[in-house]
């Protein structure tokens, strides 16, 4: 199985369906204008089509853009029940779960707590 293998610091899931006629330049513009993140940052930018049976992942690798595509033949990718206008930040592990068909929004793990002192 081949998956994007960039040094992933962040994964941004675009919250709205995307017209998949868009290629690298159109998706890069969505990153810069809507997500408001530098498209050259070490991050993966994930886009789903309206039918949620295709995913595109855009990322910069050393000297050029990479565009990764997966098309499902029978299933759909799971999305949040009420996506907002903000990009959803995922971990690389969560992205792999999404690509494998898990519903991240129904099966959320416990929150990570970062206490500053003992109560």
Break the chain into its structural domains and give their ranges: 10-100
**The tokens of 107 are what?**
């099966």
Q: Considering only residues 115 and 63, tell me which one the structure prediction assigns the higher pLDDT.
A: 63
* Total residue count of the chain as it appears in this document: 119
pTM of the full structure: 0.84
Cα dist. 101→4, 60, 79, 117 in Å? 17, 25, 10, 38
User: What would the pLDDT profile of 58-109 be if each residue is shown by its tens digit?
Assistant: 999 889 999 999 999 999 998 887 778 899 999 888 898 899 988 888 876 6
- Tell me the pairing of strands 54-61 and 88-90: unpaired
**The tokens of 76 are what?**
């759909």
User: What would the pLDDT profile of 16-59 be if each residue is shown by its tens digit?
Assistant: 999 999 999 999 999 999 999 999 999 999 999 999 999 999 99
User: Cα(56)–Cα(93) distance, rounded to whole angstroms?
Assistant: 17
Instruction: Give the pLDDT confidence score for residue 84 in this predicted structure.
Output: 81
């Amino acid at each position: 199985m081949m998956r994007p293998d960039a040094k992933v610091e962040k994964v941004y899931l675009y919250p709205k369906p995307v017209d998949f006629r868009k290629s690298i330049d159109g998706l890069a513009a969505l990153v810069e204008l809507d997500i408001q993140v530098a498209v050259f940052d070490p991050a993966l930018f994930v886009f789903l089509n309206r039918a949620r049976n295709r995913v595109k992942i855009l990322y910069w690798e050393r000297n050029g853009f990479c565009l990764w595509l997966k098309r499902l033949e029978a299933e759909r990718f799971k999305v949040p029940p009420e996506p907002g206008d903000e990009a959803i930040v995922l971990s690389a592990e969560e992205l792999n779960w999404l690509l494998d068909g898990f519903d991240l929004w129904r099966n959320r793990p416990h929150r990570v707590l970062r206490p500053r002192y003992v109560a």
